[in-house]
Amino acid sequence: MTTNPNKREEELSAAEVLRQPITLPCGKIIPNRLVQASMYEALATFGGGLPNNIHFRLYEAWSHGGWGMILCGAALCSTEHVSLGQDLIMLPRTKLDSYSRLAKSIKGPQPGPSSPLAFMQLNHPGRQSMRGNFRPPWSPALAPSAIPMDSEEGWLATLAYRTFYGIPREMTVEDIERVVRQFTDASVMAYETGWDGVELHCAHGYLLSTFLSPRTNHRKDAYGGSTRARTKILLDIISSIRATVPSSFALGIKLNSRDMTKGGLTEEEALEQVRLIHEHGGVDFIEISGGTYEAVAFMESSDSTAKPFFERFAMAASSLLANDPNAPRIILTGNMRSRVQCAEVVKHNTAQLCGMGRPAAMDPAFAAKLLDDRVPDAKAAAPPHDIKAGPIVKLVPVKVVGASAESMYHSFVLARVGRGQKIDARMGLWPLTLWHILYSRDFWTLVAALAGIVLMRRALLRKGKSNISQRGDSAGHLASPCTYFCGSPSVPGM
């Protein structure tokens, strides 16, 4: 379906509003206003790695789902610092054929004007890389300042954060320069493997987000002390990427509108960061989000009757950039759940693009439904579903655990889509978890490894008993345990 070009904007239906294409400053054209927002798939091998067949099938489903732009789950640009254990990781160039295949899964074998654009989200977890998460437990995470994770929910929650995350190491200037190179190299690899652009993850308490926030950045050098200085690492990365890839390669930023923590980033400072990014140039879109793993608003249950999250800030950012046609486009993500809701956001220029994550997980073709005039407005909405984590999870005095349960639910749904299995919104968290475990390659690999260890141990014990028996027979008496373990006979009375 296409939009009637003879209609005035106020005469367009909600579906026609969303079918309007939009051009990014770099020249790339997004065929409609609906963005499949980045989600944590948890589909890579345990320890992190490359996209696999489950990723390819999942993104092919979204490719056929009507989306104008698709953002893949975050790909880590550092191999030493892993986020949650099953992340995508940008490995050496010789290993990147699978990223080329993932881009083709999104864009289709023969991309055309209606094909979605493929964007790779790039991230460094910073201090949200857990202790011992595929690096030695004594090796700290990295952060702009040595400020540990703390949810301010009481001593038990603080103890949990200190146990799992520890105290990060304040980065040196050399560390910062290395991170700039890592994001740049990852962007070059994305360009070389056929992606339309990248999005730098500067939200949710990950590394770049902690540089931008006064709560976590107490530096006194060029990278801290003022809003402009805290933004310097991001501007350095933007300059470095723009110096190494063609101008037609799109670059986006995922930005917190606020941290929702005491002493954290405020909307006023975040709006100043939007101005600095625009002033610096080279950015095609800014996706608005908020919260961190210390204040998990971005992970909490959405409400079909409520307004989009961060709507007020998106409107302020759009107003700030309104007079420049080459300014970054604004993507509003969070509790976007219906055609009418999205169309209102676009009509009123609250944002120019609408991002959706969980509705896209529950229905990969959700965008096509919103763009189809034959579907009534009342039915062009994500059905509500209640994910009951159960009383045990609710008893845990750390909010991120309950919020993570819902996030985990949707990750398991993505795995079902990638395996070609039916999505059933009535399936609860624990039955879905059980199904996921039974189909998990990593689970059965672990079971096989444990079984191998048990069998090897039994074989060694049998061999040891046989050796003891043989030694005892040759000496005319049973060998003592010291004979077996120490290699010399015990002497009575010693």
Structure tokens at 306: 């409520």
Q: What is the pTM of this model?
A: 0.86
Element (H, E) at 493: none
- In sequence order, the 6+-apart residues with CB closer than 8 A to the CB of 393 are 401, 402, 405
- In sequence order, the 6+-apart residues with CB closer than 8 A to the CB of 33 are 17, 18, 19, 20, 22, 68, 342, 346, 352, 353, 354
Query: Among candidates 444, 412, 441, 443, which has minimal Cα distance to 428?
Result: 412
Residues of the chain with pLDDT under 70: 1-7, 92-94, 152-153, 296-305, 385-404, 430, 440-446, 465, 467-494
Helix (H, G, I), strand (E, B) or coil at 25: coil
pLDDT at 483: 36
Amino acid letter for position 15: A
CA distance 86 to 104: 22
Task: Provide the sign of the torsion angle of the four alpha carbons 396, 215, 281, 18, taken in this order.
Answer: positive
The answer to whether 42 and 262 have CB atoms below 8 angstroms apart is no
- In sequence order, the 6+-apart residues with CB closer than 8 A to the CB of 276 are 227, 228, 231, 235
Roughly what angle, to the nearest 10 degrees, separates helices 53-63 and 399-418? Answer: 80
pLDDT at 180: 98
pLDDT at 487: 39
Structure tokens at 207: 């590394």
- CA contacts within 13 A on the Cβ side of 336: 30
Helix boundaries (H) for 204-310: 207-212, 227-230, 232-242, 267-280
pLDDT at 185: 95
CA distance 21 to 113: 10
Strands 22-23 vs 29-30: parallel, antiparallel or unpaired = antiparallel
Query: Among candidates 311, 259, 255, which has minimal Cα distance to 287?
Result: 255
pLDDT at 452: 82
CA distance 11 to 69: 25
Helix (H, G, I), strand (E, B) or coil at 177: helix
pLDDT at 493: 38
Structure tokens at 304: 């079909």
Q: Hunting for tokens 């995508």 — which residue is that? A: 88
- In sequence order, the 6+-apart residues with CB closer than 8 A to the CB of 335 are 302, 303, 306, 307, 308, 309
pLDDT at 491: 34
- In sequence order, the 6+-apart residues with CB closer than 8 A to the CB of 230 are 211, 212, 213, 214, 217, 223, 224
